[in-house]
Amino acid sequence: MDSRLEIRPFGPDDDVEAELDLRRRAFGPLGSAATWTARMQAVIDAGQMVGVFDGRRPVASARHYAMRQWWHGRSMPMAAVAGVKVAPEERGRGIGRALMTRLLADLAAAGYAISTLYPSTMPLYRSLGWENAGGRYEVVIPAHTLAALTAADPQLPSAPALATGPASMRRAAGADAAAVVAALGNAHQALRDNGPTTREPAELVRSLDDPDYFAYVADDGFLSYYWTNGHEEVEIDNLVAASAATARAFWQILGSHATMADRVRACVPPEDPIGWLLNDPTAVTSRTQTWMLRVLDPAEAIAARGFPSGVSLEAVLDLNDRDIPANSGPWTLQISAGAGKLAPAGGEPDRRALRLGPRGFAALFGGVPLATLRRAGLAAGDTHADDVLDCAFGGPAFMYDYF
């Protein structure tokens, strides 16, 4: 990168309008400029925007949001990287690489164990250790089919009565933001979800207070949606429900719009129960986006996530991480009773080790099977623990949020 350029965080004296100009040139027109200005100023104030500057003029920037990500029912801090961009006339000269190298070091220094991003191009992120680890899935449902959800199987002994919704369900507004985040956490924990994120309650207040955004909260779930294309389609922002009663109640609310809306569009887990609640085979769940994961601190990431309680294993991992050398070396991975521990193994690399770079480790963490990783050139070495490692990390990981 040209020596006239400086990489540093945006500060109070930097012009947020110059950042928005970069954004417009990289990603197209902004929706509401006032909303973006406020949002980006908050990111700058939190020290979460890094730029490449030619004097006072930013020629590239990237930001991260501080979120929590749920892994098998436990959550940990996660840096969600977004808005990576270089001014069009400055591309192809190493600026993007220098920016992302600096961001990676900053996130590791800040103590994040993991980071994710939605890529529009993969080589740059791959070269720094991010790898495909999860997806964002969408289902488009003809609204009228929601009017007749399948009943519980009559042959199921003691089938639960699902006619009435959860007693705790109520409309939610901005004042309920903390209850909403708690309900989402309750649900992701109970469902042992891999991948979903939650944000700070304050970040939800504006949407929840928007009169065109409709939200319901129950103890174990949250539904929010809005109309798009006039009243042609209902688009679901969140539908997370841990119990059968809450899931059914939320889908029934959406189905009640069938006289107006043609379709309901929802971001869902790949095996959301809606696939079993509908009698219509035309509602297909498809993967719309792929997200990449970078494990910045493997020991902390393993300690902070959950694992299936029935899985017990001990394996040696030989990790090689050029950009975060402290992660390199032989490690002993122990998993039992739902918890994991990764400790330096010491000594020479074990012949019985599973060998991974940061990309293979990130994808394994996200639940990508080792048979896939070996054939993609992301894992090598001993195979004896592959089966049980697949059970321990088992995916697929998914996200609702897009950033």
Q: Count the site residues for ligand COA by CB under 6 A.
A: 17
Distance separating alpha carbons of residues 390 and 403, to the nearest angstrom: 28
Nearer to ligand COA, 121 or 259 (CB): 121
Please list, residue by residue across 261-292, b when 16 or more beta carbons sit within 10 angstroms of its beta carbon and e when fewer do.
bebbebbbbbebebeebbeeeebebeeeeebb
Nearer to ligand COA, 84 or 141 (CB): 84
Please report how close the Cβ of residue 138 comes to ligand COA at its closest, in angstroms. 19
Nearer to ligand COA, 1 or 391 (CB): 1
Closest residue (Cβ) to ligand COA?
A: 96
Q: Which H or E run contains 60?
A: strand 57-71
Site residues (CB under 6 A) for ligand COA, limited to 98-137:
119-121, 123-124, 127
Site residues (CB under 6 A) for ligand COA, limited to 24-83:
26
**92 contacts ligand COA (rule: CB under 6 A):** yes
Q: Which residue has the tokens 């899931």?
A: 247
Binds ligand COA (CB under 6 A): choice among 64, 74, 85, 294 = 85
Please give the structure tokens belonging to residue 343.
């400790």
The edge-to-edge listing of strands for the beta sheet with 313-319 is: 339-344, 329-336, 313-319, 354-356, 379-381
Nearer to ligand COA, 353 or 399 (CB): 399
Binds ligand COA (CB under 6 A): choice among 5, 76, 79, 86 = 86
Distance separating alpha carbons of residues 62 and 260, to the nearest angstrom: 41
Please report how close the Cβ of residue 210 comes to ligand COA at its closest, in angstroms. 27
Site residues (CB under 6 A) for ligand COA, limited to 165-224:
none
Binds ligand COA (CB under 6 A): choice among 44, 50, 95, 378 = 95
Angle at the Cα of 144 from the Cα atoms of 141 and 146, rounded to 5 degrees: 65
Name the one range near ligand COA by CB under 6 A: 87-95, 214-222, 345-353, 383-391.
Answer: 87-95
- Percentages helix, strand, coil for the chain (3-state, rounded to 5) are 30, 30, 35
Please report how close the Cβ of residue 98 comes to ligand COA at its closest, in angstroms. 7
Please report how close the Cβ of residue 385 comes to ligand COA at its closest, in angstroms. 33
Distance separating alpha carbons of residues 213 and 211, to the nearest angstrom: 6
Binds ligand COA (CB under 6 A): choice among 79, 84, 268, 379 = 84
**94 contacts ligand COA (rule: CB under 6 A):** yes
Nearer to ligand COA, 5 or 218 (CB): 5
**What single letter denotes the amino acid at residue 280?**
D
| DSSP codes, 119-163 | -SS-HHHHHTT-EEEEEEEEEEEEGGGGGSPPPPPTTSTTPPP-S
Please list, residue by residue across 86-111, b when 16 or more beta carbons sit within 10 angstroms of its beta carbon and e when fewer do.
bbeebeeeebbebbbbbbbebbbeee
Nearer to ligand COA, 95 or 215 (CB): 95
Nearest to 107 by CA among 328, 333, 293: 293
Contact 135, 292 (CB under 8 A): no
Please report how close the Cβ of residue 131 comes to ligand COA at its closest, in angstroms. 14
Q: Which H or E run contains 80?
A: strand 74-86
Please report how close the Cβ of residue 166 comes to ligand COA at its closest, in angstroms. 39
Nearer to ligand COA, 95 or 217 (CB): 95
**310 contacts ligand COA (rule: CB under 6 A):** no
Omega within 30 of 0 (cis) for the link into 88: no
Binds ligand COA (CB under 6 A): choice among 23, 39, 57, 97 = 97
Residues found near ligand COA in the complex (CB under 6 A):
26, 84-86, 91-97, 119-121, 123-124, 127
